[in-house]
């Protein structure tokens, strides 16, 4: 079996899925678009490129409402899991009803063992494995848990200044190739920071932030007027790519998008918070890829060549609102990139809401999603 890709999600139709290549091309199926075929799994009919298949990696009772996932070097899958509550953020911050899990013991492509790493979390908005530590974004803060401890005790790695009604004040964290830890700010709540050198920084805008692994030297990398910058991934040369909602005022089928986040750049949508930031031109930076009202969540750049050279370096983006994972092939275009865009994985179940996509240490592609009252994880497979 060669490398695969995992997408992790946690609302309404819970599945943890893996996508990979078949030993032989799939037979053409009536009604399937040219070059694609359908796979029925857990009450869904998934459509994906011919030659790929999708498998269940974990489901209830092992995991019920997975949101985000990251692999350890040993191959354990670290998963944030929602309790399913819809309580106001202030109550969730007090009660901490969500959890952090470790799935292991893989047999025939499925996880069979679950261990609770953290029993009480605020609504998690991201997870990363950095050495022996697990970093979890749980607005308003990022917490660090040392996995060498039998029962890890959380240390507040970043104390976020605000918590609004949508809990989109913070997404992440995301380890960068420069050794920094990245996260995003949304919500337009006013926040105050002290930058390296002691310079004060007050902002309502959306941002990508980064800091040293010890949490020092916080700085904004990108500023914008988007409501909710969500996931950050990196090209082979270290360029930052971010998925975000409301990168422009909705019009002509456009709203959300994927941005090439140039250091110091100012991006849409165009309104007061972003205009409070210093800029060098009256126009804002362009959107790299328009997605419509997709509510993009998980974003990942595929590093392996196991799917074939045409897939290496491609972006995979979870479209939460559209029951699909999209594929975006990057081509250099002057100082930025253009993308060739297509649907990669789609479901006929409108309760399929993919939330994260990541790659196994051996190159598989994974995705977690919820499905009508249950939760699970699945994978795309290539042999």
Domains of the chain with bracketed CATH: 4-381 (2.120.10.30)
* Per-residue confidence (pLDDT) for residue 19, from 0 to 100: 65
* Per-residue confidence (pLDDT) for residue 96, from 0 to 100: 97
Q: Is 74 exposed, middle or buried (0-12, 13-18, 19+ CB in 10 A)?
A: exposed
pLDDT band at 18 (very low <50, low <70, confident <90, very high): low
Query: Tens digit of pLDDT for each residue in 287-326?
Result: 999 999 999 999 999 998 888 899 999 999 999 999 999 9
CA separation for the pair 264, 281 (Å, rounded):
12
* Per-residue confidence (pLDDT) for residue 127, from 0 to 100: 96
Q: In this structure, what is the dihedral angle of CA atoms 355, 264, 185, 299, given to the nearest 10 degrees? A: 10
pLDDT band at 52 (very low <50, low <70, confident <90, very high): confident
Q: Report yes or no: 74 and 45 within 8 Å, Cβ to Cβ.
A: no
CA separation for the pair 266, 207 (Å, rounded):
9
Given a cut of 90, is residue 336 above it in pLDDT?
yes
Given a cut of 70, is residue 26 above it in pLDDT?
no
* Per-residue confidence (pLDDT) for residue 290, from 0 to 100: 98
* Per-residue confidence (pLDDT) for residue 5, from 0 to 100: 62
**Which tokens go with 83?**
């309790």
pLDDT band at 91 (very low <50, low <70, confident <90, very high): very high
Given a cut of 80, is residue 20 above it in pLDDT?
no
30/14: higher pLDDT = 30
pTM for the full predicted model: 0.91
pLDDT band at 379 (very low <50, low <70, confident <90, very high): low
Least confident of 9-18, 79-88, 225-234, 307-316: 9-18
pLDDT band at 268 (very low <50, low <70, confident <90, very high): very high
Given a cut of 80, is residue 51 above it in pLDDT?
yes
* Per-residue confidence (pLDDT) for residue 377, from 0 to 100: 61
Q: Is 352 exposed, middle or buried (0-12, 13-18, 19+ CB in 10 A)?
A: buried
The residues facing 82 across adjacent strands are none
318/359: higher pLDDT = 318
Average pLDDT of the chain is: 87
| Range 245-273 average pLDDT | 96
* Per-residue confidence (pLDDT) for residue 382, from 0 to 100: 54
Pairing of strands 256-261, 315-319: unpaired
Q: Report yes or no: 224 and 246 within 8 Å, Cβ to Cβ.
A: no
| Range 371-379 average pLDDT | 47
**Which tokens go with 131?**
């050495």
| Range 74-82 average pLDDT | 90
Given a cut of 60, is residue 97 above it in pLDDT?
yes
* Per-residue confidence (pLDDT) for residue 109, from 0 to 100: 72
Per-position DSSP letters for 76-123, written without gaps between them: -EEEEE-------HHHHHHH--EEEEEEEEEETTEEEEEEEEEEEES-
* Per-residue confidence (pLDDT) for residue 213, from 0 to 100: 96
* Per-residue confidence (pLDDT) for residue 1, from 0 to 100: 34
Query: Tens digit of pLDDT for each residue in 5-17?
Result: 655 554 444 455 6
CA-based torsion, 350, 344, 261, 69: positive or negative: positive
């Amino acid at each position: 079996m060669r490398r695969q890709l995992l997408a992790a999600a946690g609302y309404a139709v819970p599945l943890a899925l893996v996508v990979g290549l078949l030993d032989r091309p799939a037979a053409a199926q009536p009604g399937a678009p040219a070059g694609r075929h359908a796979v029925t799994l857990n009450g869904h009919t998934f459509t994906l490129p011919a030659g790929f298949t999708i498998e269940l990696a974990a489901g209830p009772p092992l995991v019920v409402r997975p949101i985000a996932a990251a692999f350890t070097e040993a191959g354990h899958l670290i998963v944030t899991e929602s309790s399913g509550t819809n309580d106001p953020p202030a109550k969730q911050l007090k009660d901490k009803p969500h959890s952090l899990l470790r799935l292991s013991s893989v047999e025939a492509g499925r996880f069979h063992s679950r261990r609770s790493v953290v029993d009480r979390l605020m609504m998690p908005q991201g997870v990363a494995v950095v050495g022996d530590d697990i970093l979890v974004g749980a607005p308003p803060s990022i917490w660090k848990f040392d996995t060498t401890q039998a029962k890890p005790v959380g240390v507040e790695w970043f104390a976020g200044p605000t918590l609004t009604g949508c809990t989109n004040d913070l997404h992440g964290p995301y380890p960068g190739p420069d050794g920094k830890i990245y996260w995003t700010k949304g919500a337009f709540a006013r926040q105050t920071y002290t930058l390296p050198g002691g310079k004060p920084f007050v902002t309502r805008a959306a941002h990508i932030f980064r800091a040293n692994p010890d949490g020092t030297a916080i700085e904004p990398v990108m500023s914008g007027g988007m409501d909710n910058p969500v996931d950050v991934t990196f090209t082979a040369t270290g360029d930052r790519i971010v998925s975000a909602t409301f990168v422009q005022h909705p019009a002509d089928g456009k709203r959300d998008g994927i941005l090439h986040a140039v250091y110091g750049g100012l991006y849409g949508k165009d309104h007061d918070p972003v205009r409070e930031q210093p800029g060098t031109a009256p126009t804002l930076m362009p959107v790299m890829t328009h997605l419509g009202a997709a509510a993009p969540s998980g974003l990942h750049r595929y590093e392996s060549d196991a799917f074939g050279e045409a897939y290496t370096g491609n972006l995979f983006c979870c479209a939460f609102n559209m029951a699909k994972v999209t594929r975006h092939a990057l081509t250099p275009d002057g100082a930025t990139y253009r993308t060739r865009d297509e649907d990669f994985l789609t479901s006929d179940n409108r309760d399929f809401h993919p939330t994260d996509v990541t790659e196994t240490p051996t190159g598989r592609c994974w995705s977690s999603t919820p499905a009508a009252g249950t939760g699970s994880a699945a994978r795309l497979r290539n042999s």
